[in-house]
Structure 1
């Protein structure tokens, strides 16, 4: 457990287990503790590196907006800080956007990419979810006082008084339009998409995202020769809010991280 000074941010990270490195990127208003329920299962097989994003958890905020692109640069800088030639990435929700941008902006550092409950464009969320994102500000931060995310933030943040600022900056981030479809289609590393069957993202977007990665266009053939490098998992009985704590998540992710990828014909 330590800090890495990267890009003007003092980034908190933890390392658990041994083996090939796997970086976990938490969701909005969260911290490394978000992965606590599945950490043991992952660390049994991998060297798991958890990181608190800018303004989250033990990483203090700095004088710059929250943006997927800048936080992706932070993740890449952390990988370099740890002298890793490459790493696998798993990002959940907002952290999925950060992990995806890391793969887009720094493809040489990402061996495999697992995205959990994250779209590739802002309009990939349900309309009611976008409407809720648009309201996130100091007032909502006040309403969230006493909630589990606030209690964790109060306990670990270097400046607990920054709680309202986190909501203002995150709200500004979530109101920014983006569509990374063209960049997704150009990704060369294997990608796993994981969603809940009652996610905040409609099944139509899950299929669209998978299609951009080469999935869902044809039968794989009796020997699987035409299987795409990308994979799609829709986990039953889960939602956007509990998928990250389910044992079904590492059960889906770990085989993807270790399966052999056939070279293109």
Structure 2
């Protein structure tokens, strides 16, 4: 476990295992511990680097807004700090958006990308999810004291009293509109999209996102040679909340990361 001084932020990270580097980025109000159930499967074949994003976990907040773009710059700076120019990235929810922005903003640093339960535009969430996100503020944070997310934050955060501040900053982020469709269509890194079949994102957006990556436009041919470089996995019996701890996730991710030649048709 260590810290890297990047972009005025003291960014916490942990590295374990050996092999090709795989960076894991957690969701909102989470921390590196989110991925603990997956470590036995992943560290057997990868050097796994877990990161606590700005204002989350062991990484204290700084005087700047929470933005996918700036957090992506932090991750890119960490990769350069660790001299990892060709890493694989996996992000869940908020972390999925950050991982996607790393691939967009710093394409030379990303070999393969895994986006778990995250849309490519704000309107990709269900309307009721957007309404719930819009209500995130300090008062909602106070109401969430006593939850598992709060208990983890209270135990590991440098300033546990910043919990309501995290909710206020996260709510401001979640209310911001964005649409990265054009940038997604220009991505060069082979990408795996992973969703739950009962996710917070409708299946229509899953198909739209995959279509931007070249998927779902034509039959791949009898030998599969016309398949796109990117992949789509919809995992059954899971939700946005429990997909990241399911053994079905590494079972879908590892074959993609280790495919010998993921190249465009």
Q: TM-score, normalised by structure 1?
A: 0.99
Q: Match for residue 81 of structure 1? A: 81
Q: Distance between the aligned counterparts of 1:86 and 1:137, measured in 2?
A: 37
Once the two structures are superposed, what CA deviation does each residue of 1:139-191 show, in whole Å capped at 9, x if it has no partner? Answer: 11011001000000000000000000000000000000000000000001100
Q: Match for residue 164 of structure 1? A: 164
SS of alignment partner, residue 188 of structure 1:
coil
Q: CA deviation at 1:264?
A: 4.4
Compared CA separation, residues 147 and 120, structure 1 to 2 (3 A):
same
Q: Match for residue 189 of structure 1? A: 189
Equivalent residues in 2 for 1:54-93, closer than 5 Å: 54-93=54-93
Q: CA deviation at 1:235?
A: 0.1
Q: Match for residue 215 of structure 1? A: 215
SS of alignment partner, residue 21 of structure 1:
strand
Compared CA separation, residues 262 and 127, structure 1 to 2 (3 A):
closer
Compared CA separation, residues 98 and 262, structure 1 to 2 (3 A):
closer
Contact between 2:190 and 2:262, CA under 8 Å: does it hold in 1? no
Q: Match for residue 45 of structure 1? A: 45
Compared CA separation, residues 138 and 150, structure 1 to 2 (3 A):
same
Work out the number of aligned pairs and report it.
265
Once the two structures are superposed, what CA deviation does each residue of 1:173-225 show, in whole Å capped at 9, x if it has no partner? Answer: 00000000000000011000000000000000000000000000011111111
What do you get for the CA RMSD once the two structures are aligned? Answer: 0.8
Q: Match for residue 103 of structure 2? A: 103
Q: Distance between the aligned counterparts of 1:170 and 1:60, measured in 2?
A: 14
Compared CA separation, residues 142 and 184, structure 1 to 2 (3 A):
same
Q: Distance between the aligned counterparts of 1:15 and 1:221, measured in 2?
A: 41
Q: TM-score, normalised by structure 2?
A: 0.99
Q: Match for residue 175 of structure 2? A: 175
SS of alignment partner, residue 233 of structure 2:
strand
Q: Match for residue 143 of structure 2? A: 143
4+ runs deviating over 3 angstroms? 262-265
SS of alignment partner, residue 206 of structure 1:
helix
SS of alignment partner, residue 11 of structure 1:
strand
Q: Distance between the aligned counterparts of 1:40 and 1:61, measured in 2?
A: 30
Q: Match for residue 245 of structure 2? A: 245
Q: Match for residue 2 of structure 1? A: 2
Q: Gaps spanning 5+ residues in structure 2: where?
A: none
Once the two structures are superposed, what CA deviation does each residue of 1:81-140 show, in whole Å capped at 9, x if it has no partner? Answer: 001122000000000000000000000000000000000000000000000000000111
Q: Match for residue 20 of structure 1? A: 20
SS of alignment partner, residue 40 of structure 1:
helix
